[in-house]
């Protein structure tokens, strides 16, 4: 079999252009965390601490404390506006992006319905409890929400029960993707 030559190396200029386009140099960095995220449209946010660093790196003279402040002022949020990966978006871009990319959730919805029993009744129960908690306490942690779901029988009380973790995650992602919940102000 003939040997296939390796592809030619990309010129360094392409890598430099990407760094410039990403706002990682002073000339193209954003004045605020909000503007840094808006420029990217959505930034992957799986590891929260790393996403704070990634946003701060694209912002002039802002530390991760400045990024945290943007979350606390409800300028930025974490959610699942597309696929199964959590992203950071601006508050104003989140909802239209979520609606535009809703078709990307078909496989997730099917699995949640068939494997974990997620249906409209269960989603309504989960949402109603979330709204009660938010109405009473304001922003609440994921742990508080899940504990209340377990106390009221929406999810298994035993977090190690078969499928319990997948059910909790499915409910949280579904409610985020439907625009009913977002991760915004930071607590603790």
Radius of gyration of the chain (CA): 20
Confidence (pLDDT) at 11: 76
Looking at every residue in the chain, the average pLDDT score rounds to: 88
The model's pTM is 0.78
DSSP letter (8 states) at residue 64: H
Closest CA relative to residue 83, chosen from 73, 65, 98, 64: 98
Lowest-confidence region among 12-26, 102-116, 162-176 = 102-116
Task: Give, in order, the Cα–Cα distances in Å from 135 to each of 10, 127, 132, 171, 183.
Answer: 54, 12, 5, 19, 16
Token couple for 100: 């535009």
E strand spans, the chain: 43-44, 76-79, 87-90
Confidence check: pLDDT of 134 > 70: yes
Pair of tokens at residue 55: 């946003």
Q: How far is CA 4 from the centre of its chain?
A: 41
Name the pairing type of β-strands 76-79 and 87-90: antiparallel
CA distance 182 to 175: 8
> Beta-carbon neighbour count of residue 10 at 10 Å?
9
Backbone angles phi, psi at 4, to 5 degrees: -90, 125
Query: For residue 131, what pLDDT is reported?
Result: 95
How far is 26 from 50, CA to CA, in rounded Å? 20
Q: Which tens digits make up the pLDDT trace of 64-104?
A: 999 999 999 999 998 888 767 889 999 999 989 988 888 87
CA proximity to 143, closest of 174, 184, 187, 180: 187
């Amino acid at each position: 079999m003939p040997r296939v030559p390796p592809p030619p190396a990309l010129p360094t200029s392409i890598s430099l252009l990407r760094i410039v386009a990403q706002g990682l140099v002073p000339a193209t960095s954003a004045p605020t965390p909000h503007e840094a995220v808006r420029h990217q449209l959505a930034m992957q946010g799986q590891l929260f601490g790393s996403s704070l660093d990634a946003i701060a790196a694209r912002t002039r003279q802002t530390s991760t404390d400045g990024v945290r402040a943007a979350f606390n002022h409800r300028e930025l949020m974490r959610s699942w506006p597309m696929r199964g990966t959590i992203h950071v978006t601006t508050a104003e871009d989140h909802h239209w992006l979520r609606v535009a990319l809703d078709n990307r959730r078909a496989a997730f919805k099917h699995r949640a319905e068939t494997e974990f029993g997620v249906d409209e009744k269960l989603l309504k129960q989960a949402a109603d409890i979330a709204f009660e908690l938010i109405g009473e306490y304001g922003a609440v942690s994921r742990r508080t929400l899940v504990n209340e779901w377990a106390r009221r029988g929406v999810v298994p009380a035993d977090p190690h029960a078969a499928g319990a973790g997948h059910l909790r995650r499915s409910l949280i992602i579904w409610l985020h993707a439907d625009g009913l919940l977002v991760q915004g102000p930071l607590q603790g």
